Chain A
Amino acid sequence: MPREVEPSINQREFISSAIQEGIRADGRAPLQARQMVIRFGNELGWVECSLGKTRVIAQVCATVTRPFLERPFEGIIVINSEFSPMASSAYETGRPSEEEVTISRMLEKTIRRSEALDREALCILAGQKVSIVWVWTLRVTLHFLSDEGNLLDCACVAAMAVLRHFRKPDIEVVGDEVTVFPPEERAPVPLALHHQPMCVSFAFLGPKNALVVDPTHLEEQLANGTMSISLNAQREICVLQKAGGVALPADEVMRAVNVAVLRVRELNDIVTKALEKDSKTRVIEVR
């Protein structure tokens, strides 16, 4: 396993003394995030998100498959989030590192466990026998292009944006007969989403454990602890994860939660605006 080079003592001291004065190395305020830029591809279901120099591509594809035996009336959602050495030399293919496990589990919990997608709406043909049931399988693939800190938030926004951007082919069911229409014949339909959870990550820096939102890679390495909170626009916490690290007073945790509430609202607006702008450039034919 390649071990990442640790930051030098100079870097460590610079960052920690700067944060005591409320300054960060890239000129941001402690509770200021980098700008989230969302770019859509030519096809529906392709999004590139960047947060500073962190870049993630998300892509969705839908196929018609049989459901799981124990959930015969629900579609299947698969989130692929494997790190490749492209993001950073510290990542290896095949063996998941600790960061990869944390990020992919967080995505899983944020999107799948919180029931962001209506899985029953992905069922095409229900029936008593599983052999005649058809459902949609959605595969969300995340490509991590570069890691300049806070991959999780970037990936989460990319995944939510791509799910809102994607449209699945329209279908028609007559008896046991299922017809899937190509996009030329009938306009594809958007997915049914219950809510839009987004993830906000924090780091605790310096001797006084200053709360910092959207940490860069260097800040992540030097942090005394990190915390990630997933929320939706309705102010519901979906996941709250502070796995160890420095011990904090309860009020500091609550403060982070309140900061996250505001940040999620902001992120939601950014995604919605980007989607609106994109939909104006597209002609989705109506039958």
Chain B
Amino acid sequence: MSEMEEIVGSPFLNKLSGPESRFEPLNSGNLRSDGRRPLELRSFEAELTTHPSADGSASVSHGLTQVTACVYGPREAKNRGLTMHDRALVNVEVSVAPWAGEMRRLRSRGDKRTLEFAASIKSTFEPVIQTTLYARSEIDIHIHVLQLDGGLLQASINATTLALVDAGVPMLDYVSSLSAGLYHTTAMLDLTSVEESDLPSVTVAVLPRSGKVTLVSMETRLHVDRFEEMFKLAMEGGKVLRGEMDRVVRERTAALARQMEGGVALKEDDKMDTDL
């Protein structure tokens, strides 16, 4: 009996059990469907140099959303016709694994949604990368979405930032991104896909050092007066994420430095680097 009670009381079942109990984005205890508080982020994990063959790569996960980014270049452009005499060309290609979402679905490369997504990532990073240092060359960014549970854009931007840092491409600042939603008047950060389909949401990418915003993307209806609070909270959250990303980069760099000094026994974590 007690087991039964436990299941009925779990917030996850709330949305599944029949039409009379609608999905509650925020329950009476001020907790969200996965037990987070409104301004709490999902667990953020990042790893650098996940792909030894790329010049730089990173894998980022926000909860169950997992994205890998690989950076090749700066290198000689494959398509000579598109090279620019004074700066590097940035190419972005996005592929979403068919099993990533809730239902298996194959997306073609010419899918307009994917193309738009790639274009917005490209124009986010073009002004941040110091492209003028690499005239007549090209930087290729490949993004692979492995698991999808909301926050695709934020995970992709964060993964790309880390991959570019890993590749040693000079940038003006980190670009850190976070999504935010609004339930009645409560703003919440880092939405899962269930929340994303129910609430108005915005994804914001910031340059944390200057506090400026490079990307704002909102696709759901929301009153102008409600927008500002949510937007500014997402920006603040982005700045916090930058600290996390910076910590990952520093750890990785310290591990590399230890190896270069030599004579220090490799830790288990650093073993992969010997493959390089």
Which of B122, B215, B223 is A236 in contact with, Cβ under 8 Å?
B223
B199 CB to closest chain A CB (Å) equals 14
Q: How far is the CA of A224 from the CA of B128 in the complex (A)?
A: 12
- Which of chain B's residues have a CB closer than 8 A to the CB of A225? 123, 127
Q: How far is the CA of A1 from the CA of B82 in the complex (A)?
A: 9
- B113 and A105 within 8 A (CB): yes
- A96 and B115 within 8 A (CB): yes
Known contacts being A96-B112, A246-B127, is A239 close to B219, with CB within 8 Å?
yes
- B124 and A244 within 8 A (CB): yes
- Which of chain B's residues have a CB closer than 8 A to the CB of A241? 120, 216-218
- Which of chain A's residues have a CB closer than 8 A to the CB of B222? 236-237
- For residue B210, which residue of chain A has the nearest CB? A247
- B81 and A244 within 8 A (CB): no
Q: Report, as a range, how many residues of chain B touch the other chain.
A: 35 or more
- For residue A239, which residue of chain B has the nearest CB? B219
Which of B110, B127, B218, B219 is A244 in contact with, Cβ under 8 Å?
B127
Proximity string of chain B (114-152) to chain A, C-beta cutoff 8 Å, 1 when within and 0 when not: 011001111111111000000000000000000000000
- For residue A231, which residue of chain B has the nearest CB? B224
Among A224, A240, A242, A247: residue with most chain B CB under 10 A: A247
Summarize A's interface: helix, strand, loop or mixed: mixed
Tell me whether B105 is interfacial, beta carbon within 8 Å: no
Which of B120, B125, B202 is A240 in contact with, Cβ under 8 Å?
B202
- Which of chain B's residues have a CB closer than 8 A to the CB of A1? 81-82
Query: What residues of chain B have their CB less than 8 Å away from a CB belonging to chain A?
Result: 81-82, 110, 112-113, 115-116, 119-128, 202, 206-207, 210-225, 227-228, 231-232, 235
- A selection of 9 A-B contacts at a CB cut-off of 8 Å is A101-B119, A227-B216, A239-B218, A240-B216, A242-B213, A248-B214, A253-B231, A257-B224, A258-B224
Report the 8 A-B pairs with minimum CB-CB distance, sorted nearest first: A244-B123, A243-B120, A244-B124, A247-B212, A240-B218, A242-B216, A247-B214, A105-B116
